[in-house]
Structure 1
Amino acid sequence: MRDTNLSLTFMETRPTIYIAITNHGFGHATRTASLAAKIQQLCPDILLIMVTTAPRWLLESYIEGDFIYRPRAFDLGVIQSDSLTMDKVATLEKLQQIRKQERSIIASEVNFIRQNRVNLILADIPPLAVAIAHAAGIPCYMSSNFGWDFIYRDWGGEFVEFADWMGKHYAQCDRLFRLPFHEPMSAFPNITDVGLTGGSPRHAIDTLRSNWGISTPPEKTILLTFGGLGLQQIPFENLQLFPDWQFLTFDVTAPNLPNLIKITDQKLRPVDFMPLCGRVISKPGYGTFAEAVGVGIPIVTLTREDFAEAKFLVDGIANYSYHQILNTEEFFQSHWEFLHQPPQPPRQSQPIAKDGNEAIAQAVLEAVSRKS
């Protein structure tokens, strides 16, 4: 009944939420799109403005209703050639450029926000979103398991100055929804811890099996997913060592192999195929980890020594999921013997909360209701 009342409250003045997504890979876009979808589900009258450089088709795979797509970037995350290879020099140059353009970026978005009568910004997790919101006279809520200040500070050197700059913006955030597998995020003054976010499977298993010709049992069906940037030099030759297994990938550049199915339908997502699989092989990433834990599928992950968030992510799945943690040598230079080994059980006996989408959506709608 509460959700219906929220919807009715907004009938005369349509609420509008400006959702700003960090310009880094696909993970931030998909996890935030899942939140947007929940907000839209609870309040169909709401107008969503999705502000991101991620492709529209990716957002549409999570958000079934209408939204405004505004391709803008207020940060860059890390410039990478693939999901593991970072270019710190190019990242630093781009950070310098964004900081020089800070005032013009803010001014441009403030005009847009006022013209469209936006009520609130929800961001994951570009620092300038806070300044944009407050210059426009509206609150800024954020959701994430890490801040970019944390990533850059760990790199040291010239990146520390940018970490301090970002931390000052984060310190003005009205409310942070801190996702699981998180770093302390100490720059934020008002923190609410929530459960896992992300998408849920929405297709019948038998239909997917039939449409994609998947006949192997789950224990011999493996999902390979390395985010929107993919992963160069995956040792696909190892798949020939498992001729009676089936591997699935969303990488359209992968080689054509008899036991590798390339999923090319942009309406389908990795989470849709997870119930068919016995394991998902990935790199550290909140979106994939959260969806896999939500489905209950074991996770095989590479480690990342040069990305500070990775430790918290890997510890998270070790605590709450059946898992296998590989170093790069075990993945790139072995014959994937790990597939013949059982995953390790989670260290924690109590399951993790999975209500993050609902909790954040309700809080956002209540805030917009007060603002309206």
Structure 2
Amino acid sequence: MQSLYIAITNHGFGHATRAASVAGMVKKLNPDILLILVTTAPRWLLESYIEGDFIHRPRALDVGVIQSDSLTMDKQETLAKLAEIRTAQYRIIAGEVNFIQTNRISLILGDIPPLAAPIAKTAGIPCWMMSNFGWDFIYRDWGEDFAEIAAWIGDCFSQCDRLFRLPLHESMSAFPHISDVGLTGGTPRFSEEEIRTTFNLIQPRERTILLTFGGLGLQQIPYHKVEEFPDRQFITFDRHAPDFSNLIKIRDRQYRPVDFMPFCDRVVSKPGFSTFSEALRLNIPLVSLSREGFAEASLLELGLKNYGHHQIISPDAFFQGNWEFLLRSPNPPQQTSTLATDGTETIAREIVQYFENMATSKATKLAQSSRP
């Protein structure tokens, strides 16, 4: 049995969904590869992207950013948790190496916990990673207090054997070997008729709005604004949203935001690679809240302006404003060129090819050793 260890950063749902989309494609291309997903993300989220069996190993290999919701960050608590992981790194590495060797794992794919690379190096197997940014990039922007941690993370990343660099990226210069790939994400699995019938979507696409703010959500979403647009239909995955006649709450966890995107006029979100990527892959307009203090956000906003139909609004316009942005048409892309959209498939094919090459090499050596 060939086994792939997929280490996913402990931060929201975005990293989990894009890594799971690759894992799901690996499973489709070669069902015999055993997937082991190492993440604190809930199993139901992974199952919504992966058809077939996999092992879920709940482990936190990094911190990401400690947040109370998708926009509110606690930098000091983040720094404290990072210090704890750095202090415990050798214990964490030893435990994962033991697991890897016991289960005869031969490749790690990381998105993008820094310790994945030292774990692979200690275990004597390759580590590949995928991302549009490294955590050293995020923390370095936060000033001198994070400089030492950022340098440590950069050293971890320098031990990575191959990086699949996604679009809307920073330079990621700590990585010695970089392969640029296209956008990643899930593919809608349901027809328009199925979606409209199941959820009683009565408005046409031009008057249907998807509200999605990732796994952490937002505190105090001003849902009362929804009632001010009775001629529009809104879709949310927030189970705690109020009951309004024009607000559809998606509770069934087999459905994902990407399954609804093709039937919406636009998606309202916060800056997040996975939501941006899935919308850009489908050419769906995006309304994004601006975000201060998180270095990736400026990369995402620039990429959205360049390649997608877009509106960038301030948090104040969303929380206290009258949502007049819904009455305006999104701005067209500023670039005439387009982004490649085959990142999920490209990364998955490379992984499957790696295992096929291993199997061929093993068979060749076995044949050579059996010759008289």
Deviation larger for 324-333 or 273-282:
324-333
Equivalent residue in structure 1 for 2:211, among 215, 220, 224: 224
Name the counterpart of 1:32.
Answer: 19
Q: Distance in 2 between matches of 1:118 and 1:186?
A: 28
Superposed CA deviations along residues 191-244 of structure 1, whole A, max 9, x for unmatched, are 000000000101011111111111101111000000000001211111111011
Q: Which amino acid aligns with 1:163?
A: A
Q: Distance in 1 between matches of 2:152 and 2:237?
A: 37
Name the counterpart of 2:47.
Answer: 60
Q: Distance in 2 between matches of 1:222 and 1:122?
A: 35
Name the counterpart of 1:145.
Answer: 132
Q: Distance in 2 between matches of 1:117 and 1:129?
A: 16
SS for the counterpart of 1:240 is helix
Q: Distance in 2 between matches of 1:270 and 1:252?
A: 14
1:329 equivalenced with 2:324 (yes/no)? no
The within-5 A match list for 1:230-241 is 230-241=217-228
SS for the counterpart of 1:17 is strand
SS for the counterpart of 2:144 is coil
The within-5 A match list for 1:236-251 is 236-251=223-238
Q: Distance in 1 between matches of 2:214 and 2:15?
A: 10
Q: Distance in 2 between matches of 1:112 and 1:52?
A: 14
TM (norm. structure 1) is: 0.95
Q: Distance in 2 between matches of 1:292 and 1:70?
A: 29
Q: Distance in 1 between matches of 2:355 and 2:92?
A: 24
Aligned residues: 359
TM (norm. structure 2) is: 0.95
C-alpha deviation, 1:143, in angstroms: 0.1
Equivalent residue in structure 2 for 1:360, among 347, 350, 363: 347
Q: Say if 1:130 and 1:140, in contact at 8 Å, map to a contact too.
A: yes
Name the counterpart of 2:150.
Answer: 163
Equivalent residue in structure 2 for 1:209, among 184, 196, 200: 196
Superposed CA deviations along residues 158-199 of structure 1, whole A, max 9, x for unmatched, are 211100000001011000000011011111110000000000
Q: Distance in 2 between matches of 1:145 and 1:42?
A: 24
Q: Which amino acid aligns with 1:273?
A: F
Q: Which amino acid aligns with 2:163?
A: L
Name the counterpart of 1:192.
Answer: 179
Superposed CA deviations along residues 57-116 of structure 1, whole A, max 9, x for unmatched, are 000000011101100011010000000000111111111111111000000000000010
Q: Say if 1:299 and 1:322, in contact at 8 Å, map to a contact too.
A: yes
Identity %: 62
SS for the counterpart of 2:252 is coil
1:312 equivalenced with 2:299 (yes/no)? yes
Q: Say if 1:222 and 1:281, in contact at 8 Å, map to a contact too.
A: yes
C-alpha deviation, 1:367, in angstroms: 2.3
C-alpha deviation, 1:371, in angstroms: 3.8
1:83 equivalenced with 2:70 (yes/no)? yes
C-alpha deviation, 1:253, in angstroms: 1.2
Q: Distance in 2 between matches of 1:249 and 1:141?
A: 35
Q: Distance in 1 between matches of 2:358 and 2:123?
A: 13
Q: Distance in 2 between matches of 1:175 and 1:224?
A: 35
C-alpha deviation, 1:317, in angstroms: 1.1
Superposed CA deviations along residues 293-335 of structure 1, whole A, max 9, x for unmatched, are 1111100001111100001111111111100011122211110
Equivalent residue in structure 2 for 1:271, among 221, 240, 258: 258
Q: Distance in 1 between matches of 2:194 and 2:232?
A: 20
1:101 equivalenced with 2:93 (yes/no)? no
Q: Say if 1:119 and 1:371, in contact at 8 Å, map to a contact too.
A: no
C-alpha deviation, 1:369, in angstroms: 3.1
Give the aligned CA root-mean-square deviation in angstroms: 0.8
C-alpha deviation, 1:370, in angstroms: 3.5
Q: Which amino acid aligns with 2:254?
A: K
C-alpha deviation, 1:288, in angstroms: 0.3
Name the counterpart of 2:289.
Answer: 302
1:181 equivalenced with 2:193 (yes/no)? no
Q: Which amino acid aligns with 2:276?
A: F
Name the counterpart of 2:367.
Answer: none
